[in-house]
Chain A
Amino acid sequence: MTEEKSGVDPRLLEILVCPLTKEPLEYDAQAQELISRKARLAFPIRDGIPIMLADEARQLDD
């Protein structure tokens, strides 16, 4: 298996949902964020580790 050191494990992308709404997430590879449109939150991925905590997420304001 090939894994980029900085990238997130693709297996995680398949199983993660929004912790609040339990709905699927959008993966923004550029920003390294997992976006929950419904909860209006962007969860950061740091060193390949998704941080799925609401109080660590960026509020979406559009």
Chain B
Amino acid sequence: MTIFDRCLLRQRRDRAARHTGAIPSLFAETNERLAERLEDMARGFPQALDLGCRDGALASALRGRGGIDSLVQCDLSPSMARRAAETGRPTLVADEEALPLAEHTFDLVFSSLALHWVNDLPGSLLQIRRCLRPDGLFLCAMFGGGTLHELRTAWLQAELDVEGGASPRISPFVDIRDAGNLLQRAGFALPVADADTLSVSYPDALTLMRDLRTMGESNALHERRRTPTRRETFLRAAAVYAERFGRADGSVPATFEIVYLTAWAPHPDQQRPLAPGSARGRLADVLDSPEVSAGDAAAPKPRR
């Protein structure tokens, strides 16, 4: 199933790579939070991969954390990859939907806000798991379902008001409740998903839209409308946005829900539940308390 136009996404990222200077703060913040998770890890991850590296910002955010000897960078966009390669790290261009990486290569794979444009997320996760060594770690941040909900509402209303019909404007994002299942389906062990909600302030909705374009994150939906949007519709969307979500000081909020996923490639030494009935001691003994029967659950039902 094709949801996203990957070719268009590549062009968007190529264009975004030309914007130098300040890293958009959302990416910087997310990279920092991903890197922080490595501080809790007792072990090092010598061989690491940054999948969807954009301009290579994650590498500098790591600042020595994670015990990484070599970080390979990978992006869909050749222009982004060229910028990331300026850091001197090995860099390649690849599609997250068809990874060109040998099995059992990495101790750690990062993906920071890149997998939300993938058509076949279970397929990509499976390929990521395969390129991890046993007991390798997958650390991922992706946009969750609450992301840009204000903009979604504003576009829907504006297109109905001005043009009498709606078209898909904002991507479908992953639901945190599905994320753990997806990881498990891809063969990962010990999956954990949690989410952060960030609210970014913009002077108005048009500035938000321009910012998304600069980041290379504007609409790449396959079913998007192919005709240019009328100026009137843009202005109506901005007006609806301000009416519904505007703050007292005239600014508007934009919600970004960031879902963090942590999962491991399976390894025999990992913790796992024991088989039911395999206990060799009584819980009451461990707790040093008298054993109280919870009732005889196995008793046959009384006949009436």
Contact = CB atoms under 8 A, between A and B. Distances in A.
Interface residues on chain B, size class: 20 to 34
A52 B72 contact: no
B91 A49 contact: yes
A46 B78 contact: yes
A47 interface: yes
10 contacts: A12-B72, A12-B92, A15-B72, A15-B105, A16-B92, A18-B100, A47-B82, A50-B93, A51-B93, A52-B94
Given A3-B88, A15-B102, 8 more contacts: A12-B72, A15-B105, A16-B102, A19-B99, A20-B98, A50-B100, A51-B92, A53-B95
Nearest to A23: B102
A25 B22 CA distance: 38
Interface string A44-60: 00111111111110000
Interface size bracket, A side: 20 to 34
Contact of B94 (A19, A24, A46, A55): A19
A3 B70 CA distance: 14
Main secondary structure of the interface of B (DSSP, over half): mixed
Given A46-B78, A49-B82, A49-B85, A19 B98 contact: yes
Nearest to B106: A15
Contacts of A9: 90
A60 B259 CA distance: 42
A17 B102 CA distance: 6
A50 B92 contact: yes
B5 to A, nearest CB: 13
